[in-house]
Amino acid sequence: MAIFAFLAWQRRWVCDDGLIVLRTVENLLHGDGPVFNAGERVEANTSTLWTYVLALGGLQPWLRLEWVSVVVGLVSAVGGLFFGLDGARRLFPGRRVVPAGGLVVLALPPFWDYATSGLETGLVTLWLALVWWQLVRHATGGPVRVWPTVLLIGLGPLVRPEFALVSAIAFAALIAVVRPGWRRALGLLVLAGVLPVAYQVFRMGYYGLITPNTALAKEATQARWDRGWFYLVDFFGSYWLLVPVALLLAAAVLVLRSLERKTLVVALTPVVAGILLGLYVTRVGGDYMHARMLLPVLTCLLLPIMVVPLTRWTTPLVLAVVAWTVTSAVGLRPASAEQHKIGAYGISDARVFWVDSTHNEHPITAEDAGLIPGYLPELAAARAKVTGPAVAVSVNGTWVLYPATHDVVSSPGALGFPGMLLPRDETVIDDLGLAGPLAAHSLPITGRPAGHQKLLSVAWVIADAGVGTPEQLSAAGNELVWSKEILAARIALARPEIREMLDSVRAPLTFGRFWDNLVHSVGRSRLRFNPHPLDAQFGG
């Protein structure tokens, strides 16, 4: 664990997506609610629990949120490794064991990278390992109460929405081990659902959707098996992962078959969860961040064999894993990291990309990214030429400003560091839909990277926030955006379903508004329209 902590600390960083989380935390701490922009109820963070954990850490005003996320993420990841190892150790009491599965975690740079990053991966590792640890304690006769385990299992959807699947499998395993009567089992099910169901009601009423806004932006319900398969191959192929998988599978067959029934059920639980979670990640097309979405999958698969007993049969297998560990840790890297470029399907080593972009080996604070070309310095120069509120959009790499009712910035591609560095009273949105409701509800564009399928025309932003006729607005921007496109966007914005969607996030939150959001959240979550205004104005 000490070696893992050291390796993770050597690669400490906070990515732009991590900074997106932190702007939401800032707004929450300043009383504007869990939103990215004050006055617009958009759930821009996928992990609810991570948002509130960081908010607790940020209650001390002298602590930088970026460093809170680094430290909490690292401690969570190391804690997850500890509970994973200890849970597996408890399967083999009194026997001499070695951390065979733990070596895989130690060997893979993505585990080092996402122990920090500002994202929830460390928390994910901790939650998965804690659930595993608790289940093992129940199966091996440890003095443990059921209700804390049930509450812990129920947190899955709040860690990440898709972890509802893991929660369901873990709950079934707990019932199989504890074997309560049906009435008590029903009571435990209610207890497990208290927190996630309560939050789901809040989500539907407050945000007006049944999922985080990021799920809409990334079209998490669409099947993209070809991209997902490539994402899987990109991870497994980069580190020759089939080698340790085959070795550890052989070790698992040797050591797990001797377990008692209850213990075997628990040992297989994370494996089943990992396989199903892996199928889900593959189905949705993976992600644009190399390996990130598959780390929880691999964690689940490794939990039962985090440690294995040393026998004459397992020793050669473990030695082979050690040889692979050294090879992977020292020399195996994805092509996108070695070549310092974005690979096929838009997949890249996110840390290498961010280090290259910021010219900083440890980019942690938002200021570390403040001088990235094409963003804030150029925006400041463009703003110096105008007076009054303006909506700023980037057209062909040039910032163009249009008169508006209040300051709005449509940031191309990156959202986190502009959101953290620009004033909180400015509306900062992106063209990918992570924090912008319009882009999130637009139709995905074929061929774009997983997680970045949306790309909204800037005409929508100008039409939505700009002041003046389409002709006046187009002229203000030297006609870089056509007046007919701005007019088409305004016509589309007047469509009842789009107007209602915007009201659901912008209208004052009265009880009536909350109720209307709640009861129409399912239909509203299905709303999609053409990202091109000239087509959307006719109902496309």
pLDDT, tens only, 308-323 = 999 999 999 999 999 9
Axis-axis angle for helices 295-302, 121-139 (nearest 10): 20
Q: Are 17 and 120 in contact (CB under 8 A)?
A: no
- Are 299 and 408 in a shared domain? no
Is position 432 within any domain?
A: no
Same domain, 301 and 402: no
In terms of domains, do 322 and 387 share one? Answer: no
pLDDT grade for 448, boundaries at 50, 70 and 90 = confident
- Number of Cβ within 10 Å of residue 425's Cβ equals 11
Give the span between the Cα atoms of 203 and 288, in whole angstroms. Answer: 26
Q: For residue 39, tell me if it sits in a domain.
A: yes
- Label residue 88 by pLDDT band (50, 70, 90): very high
pLDDT score of 296 = 99
By the 8 A CB rule, do 305 and 191 touch?
no
- Give the 3-state secondary structure of residue 466: strand
> What's the rounded Cα separation, in Å, for the pair 104 and 294?
14
**In the chain, what percentage of residues exceed pLDDT 90?**
91
Does 142 have pLDDT greater than 80? no
Residues 145 and 269 in one domain: yes
Say if residue 270 is in the same domain as residue 401.
Answer: no
Task: Clarify whether residues 300 and 390 are in a common domain.
Answer: no
Nearest one of 161, 205, 137, 166 to 48, comparing CA atoms: 161
pLDDT score, position 141 = 84
CA dist list (Å): 162 to 168, 190, 274, 467: 11, 19, 12, 41
Q: 210 and 94, same structural domain?
A: yes
Are residues 326 and 223 part of one domain? Answer: yes
Of the candidates 334, 364, 395, which is a domain's last residue? 334
DSSP state string for 165-195: HHHHHHHHHHHHHH---HHHHHHHHHHHHHH
pLDDT for residue 529: 96
Q: Are residues 195 and 155 in contact, defined by beta-carbon separation less than 8 angstroms?
A: yes
Q: Tell me the pLDDT of the chain averaged across its residues.
A: 95
Contact (Cβ atoms closer than 8 angstroms) between residue 90 and residue 138: no
Average pLDDT over every residue of 503-512: 98
Q: Which of 304, 334, 364 is the last residue of a domain?
A: 334
Query: How confident is the model over 23-66, as pLDDT tens digits?
Result: 999 999 999 999 999 999 999 999 999 999 999 999 988 899 99
β-strand pairing of 398-403 with 390-395: antiparallel
Query: 382 and 318 share a domain?
Result: no
Q: Are 156 and 267 in contact (CB under 8 A)?
A: no
Q: Examine residue 367 and state whether it is found in any structural domain, yes or no.
A: no
pLDDT in tens, 178-225: 999 899 999 999 999 999 999 999 999 999 999 999 999 988 888 899
Mean pLDDT of 80-103: 96
Q: d(Cα 314, Cα 305) in Å, to the nearest integer?
A: 12
Of 334, 351, 368, the residue at which a domain comes to its end is 334
540 pLDDT higher than 80: no
> Sorting pLDDT into bands at 50, 70 and 90, what band is 339?
confident
pLDDT at 344: 77
Q: What's residue 467's pLDDT?
A: 97
Helix locations, 30-64, DSSP H = 48-57
Count how many domains the chain has. 2
At residue 57, the pLDDT reads 95
Domain that holds residue 464: 376-413+457-536
> Given this model, what pLDDT does residue 241 score?
97
Comparing 91-100, 127-136, 425-434, 445-454, the range with the smallest average pLDDT is: 445-454
Confidence tier at 343 by pLDDT (50, 70, 90): confident
**Looking at residues 506-514, what average pLDDT do you find?**
98
Residues 197 and 312 in one domain: yes
Tell me how crowded residue 308 is: count the other CB atoms within 10 A of its CB. Answer: 27
List 429's β-bridge partners, or say none: 410
- pLDDT score recorded for residue 159: 98
Give the C-alpha separation, 91 to 86, whole Å.
9
